[in-house]
Structure 1
């Protein structure tokens, strides 16, 4: 009989393996020596050991699924328990037990990781839903739309939850996106309507502006153009292409009118500046009449100046008040001279002046006599009162005498 630590071959060629539970038959050998038999069954053992080693490496270094790993372990365990091999089968069984523990540990770790990932994914998806529901109320159409599309990409990159939770969150997420899309569509539909109304209104404004471009009623037309511009600004914007086209027409019509007006005004201003020069010369000629020495000559000269003044025409608006004020000064001096002359030659006025002078002189004489009488009586109070009245009457008398002198005597 031939044997080694893990097995033996009896005289009849039966091969045994030794285990902790005792010996068991693994086969028989009739074709050669017992040593060859043990060598053959040892190689069988080594083959099983190699498979176990490969499985250990896969479990420890790859993402081999726990289910697949357990299937492979059970297959190898059957080979260890029932296989025809000679070697330390108990050690192989222990290695498989250890591997089972590692697989179970890995399974728990993965289960925990999946649970954690699910929790994180749920938190992330709830955050996406909350943000999408906020964005659903936004009026920042472009920014909110871009962000919602980005949220969809983020959602797709997250792991699925349990079906119920995932469906509920997706329903809220999808509803928020749909609500935003409906609001945006309604907004732009309203905006399109407003822009079309603006286009129609601005077409009318452009037509009116074009109809006014040839007007020569400068003031009224310029005022109407200002009103049209106010209406244009209040009308809102049309679609860009229509807006640009209508603005070109509207602005072009204004330009035609205002360029024509500017040309006329420039020509008129040039003529008015020339008129200003001529009227300044007339004012100097009129001012040379002051002071008035000969009223008749001054009146004739002023009449000539006035006739030429009217023939000249308009001057620039800013120059008109000063020129007219200077001419009016000369006119006023001549009128005052006329008034003075008339006063001197008016018999009725002379008689009234003489009568007033006589009355005042009589009043002065009377007061003087009354003062002498009061002084003789020693009535100083009455003297003071009468002297005050006398001073006033004398002042009036002096003025009357001066006026009478103006009548020549």
Structure 2
């Protein structure tokens, strides 16, 4: 072992601990070059140039490592004195032989050999990917849903409504034809946030054995004029190509907001495009079943709720006691628990959404874990942790219920929200 090796080992450890310290890395690279360990030096210099491509010290050391002369000098076989100044003629020859695509480029071989370490000096046109055309231009998350309605805890009224409006006619085509029952149109799920509307939509797709495609506002909106309408059309086309398919319009109020309140002309045209797609004017919707979800159905344009569009509405309420018990069991089943009184927790979580219940279990687990860290020994999640979590976690549905109460009292034209009125009366909130 040479005298420089212990110093190199120490500097290597220091660079590993402080990888962004470029002066330290360059000092190590210089020592490695002096010790004849060129490969290791090049690796460190590549890292330095990746972080600071214009670092002249790193560039000079890299030239030394690769055996190339500094800029402004000519090699012995270039027609000049070694290390001397470039003459005009020699300079012209060097420039022509040093182009990145030239076989005479002295760095080309090293570039190929060290491509994983040193970034290339130039991006050549041949390295650029070919543009993708056709249906492969966009990536669509078309899924095969494995969720069933049996996986949804409680919510019997919602399941019954879905069965009557959607699933029953679909399963019985002969009866559907006999009674003249049409599958045209879609279904709008509405209710407080975090109550499982998306999960229900996946369960419907699973019951039907259909593909599932979720559409949200981020999939549609684009800053360039006309692109948003094209994106919306392409998403509907993807659903048509994958029929039978459940097309789920999440937060449909964002795309189909009341046009009387929309001030942006671009958003107005997006709303018109959505109406045209639902009507099947841009293509046949045979085998495409449209489900939509919103927290604020009163903000959805009335044209979207006309027959043949999203003409059926289902209220998805905060989980009932049976559903709350199922959700709590699901979120506690893989955690170490002992002495949990689920009946007490279920009774204390009225108005909690499914997301609130998940947060409650997470908070109780945090308390138990923090206590285990303090004690230095693992303990189970107990009833005390859930009681403490109940003091911190509040139901997120109550602001929505307050707004819904005003809608039910003053904006229930045509009985659109009769099911909401009935629920609020049962809860004595109206």
TM-score range, shorter chain: under 0.3
Which of 1 and 2 has higher RCO (CA within 8 Å, sep 6+)? 2
Q: Give the TM-score taking structure 2 as reference length.
A: 0.16
